[in-house]
Chains A and B, each alone.
Chain A
Amino acid sequence: MLTERAHTLHVRSLSKHYGRVRAVDDVSFTVRRGDFLTLLGPSGSGKTTILMSIAGFIEPTAGDILVDERVITHLPPERRNFGMVFQGYALFPHLTVADNVGFPLQVRRVPRAEATARVRQALDLVHLTDLADRVPKQLSGGQQQRVALARALVFQPDLLLLDEPLSALDKKLRAELGWELKSLHRRVGMTFIYVTHDQEEALSMSDEVAILRDGKLVQSGAPSALYDQPRTRFVADFLGTSNFLDGVVDGPHHAGVTYRCGPHRFLQAGPRDALRPGQPIVLSLRPEKIVLTADEPPGAINVLAAELVSWSYFGSGVHVLVAAPGIGQLAVTRQSWRLDVPLSAGKRVWLSWDADAATPVAEDS
């Protein structure tokens, strides 16, 4: 029912200052037609301020917001034609589900017959047709979230903005509605901008993620690119979990560069330029990219003997904490199925990882 009217959104050098606090500081990004972009960051990172500026509720201090080539920075919210799902949904408690969904059509003076048909279509889209005559108080959290979605989509907006729409739900429901949201995005083919502090949500749903910290855009890209090649220690730490190896560059190698960590010498694949011998280097190494064996692995590139400190079993896998001399504690995550390392504290184990498993990251300013 909803057409393929997708638009591009440009945010250019957007800043919002409150006195001397820079809530948003010179942020620029572009959301391509029909993309699902997530603004991800801890609380106070400025993600909601950016969303509210796009929606028109906050007047930016500087910068511009453009839909396709049209500047909308100073338009009032009601003239932007964006659909929005608010945190906590903000359903009108005095109106029925049908009237809530019909609200955007009513204020646009859409003729009654057409409005009724479109409300019905929107409710079909979120599988809520049977509850049209209820009031929000009689709905569960998940149902309310769907009403909010239907209300934000019913008037065929140019863009859909979502402010932490799943944060009020319990974990299982959150995952389920996440799937639904993603499939909905594919079906309506619109441009979505999503705000969350939950990195799992961001990774699982988005085409592109923009990570924010202290009002600044730290890194953006496809979820897998962000996870596998974080540029800074903050990004590596915020997205999933990461070990950090602090070392010193040793010298170039035909397959990359070697570096020293305490008494150990490791190989890192990738570009050798800009890394001079003697220069400090920090590498992010994901726990699941480390192979754990009971005996020394033959032919492995980066090998490290360590002592098993403790472990935590979570069904499909197991988190293992090991201590390596000269490096400190490292986290390793392995599948629990057919794990060939006996789990007992104090036991000697071997760690190994490929040359391209780790990523050099910059220290945060």
Chain B
Amino acid sequence: MTTSVALAARAHSGLPVRAFYWLLVVPALAAMLAFYFFPLARVLWISVTEPRPGLDNYALLLTSASVHRMLLVTARLCVITTIVTLLLGYVVAYAMAHARGRQLRWLTFFVLLPLWVSVLVRAFAWVTLLRGNGLVNQSLLALGIIGEPLALVRNELGVAVGMIHYMIPFAVLPLYANMQGIDLRLVAAARGLGASPRQAFLRVFLPLSLPGLVGAGVLVFIFSLGFYVTPAILGGGRVFMIAEYIGVQILTVLRWGLGAMLATTLLAGVLLLMAALGRLVNMKKLFGAG
């Protein structure tokens, strides 16, 4: 069908078939150029022209104490989120890789469920649970485990909880895809050759799941860098991560140059991480296209 259309096109216009296929891509490509790459280039441009031409904005990366503080908070939260998410996600993916039929369907359903709930709703739900007179604190007080309400939200702990909750499916899915490729008979073989269950896991299953772990780790870390709503709500205006910081620079204090510089830096950082990931693992396989 496609071929005949292409051949017909060739017969009518005299264009080679390849050029005809390129023509099909042109509208999408034009839209991308006009509405994505052009604005992106403008951001890059602003970062070296506002408030005056030069690399002043980039110098702030080295000199500004508030930028340093924000970058440190961002890095710390992203690292903690990545580590905890990987640990929790690994357990879920491991259970999924060993589950069958109905069990597997329910596990998959509960992993995907949070993805269908708005991030805003989830953040406010966590505030309700974690605040001073929220469910968690009230339960702990009632049980007499604590005497004073714990500060669980409007700090980095609250932000981390929200981020980890959001990121778990993004860790589980690549981990599960990788674990599906592991022949579980290898673990049985290890047991048969004298390995304890612990040794069989550490020496056979864990090393074979390493590509999934690396892939999921980089993925979660990159996604974590861009969190905006969750830190804004669960941080209660006290925890500034890079995305919210950029938002404030551009919308509130109107330091467009600084905001654009940080956005550019973030983009460059993400691209570098992706490049590193591409060298470590097969990306197509990681995202299930291979």
Contact = CB atoms under 8 A, between A and B. Distances in A.
Contacts of A353: none
A78 B196 contact: yes
Interface stretch (A5-13, A26-34, A89-97, A249-257): A89-97
A84 B208 contact: no
A165 to B, nearest CB: 13
A103 B190 contact: yes
Nearest to B186: A90
Contact of A86 (B189, B195, B203, B204): B189
B193 A152 contact: yes
A226 to B, nearest CB: 29
A115 B189 CA distance: 19
Interface in B165-219: 183, 185-186, 188-196, 199, 203-204, 207-208
A116 B193 CA distance: 17
Nearest to A86: B189
Given A78-B196, A84-B192, A107-B193, A90 B203 contact: no
B208 A93 contact: yes
Nearest to A89: B189
A76 interface: yes
B194 A155 contact: yes
Interface in A129-151: 151
Contacts of A90: 183, 185-186, 188-189
A56 B204 CA distance: 19
A57 interface: yes
Interface in A73-128: 76-78, 81-84, 86, 88, 90, 92-94, 103-104, 106-108
A151 B186 CA distance: 13
A55 interface: yes
A187 to B, nearest CB: 21
Contact of B191 (A77, A92, A93): A77
A76 B199 CA distance: 14
Contact of A78 (B195, B203, B204, B208): B195
Given A88-B185, A90-B186, A92-B186, A55 B192 contact: yes
B194 A94 contact: no
A93 B182 CA distance: 10
B188 A57 contact: yes
Contact of A94 (B192, B199, B207): B207
Interface string A269-281: 0000000000000
B185 A78 contact: no
Interface of B: 183, 185-186, 188-196, 199, 203-204, 207-208
Interface of A: 55-57, 76-78, 81-84, 86, 88, 90, 92-94, 103-104, 106-108, 151-152, 155
Given A82-B192, A90-B188, 8 more contacts: A76-B191, A81-B194, A84-B192, A84-B193, A88-B185, A92-B186, A103-B193, A107-B190
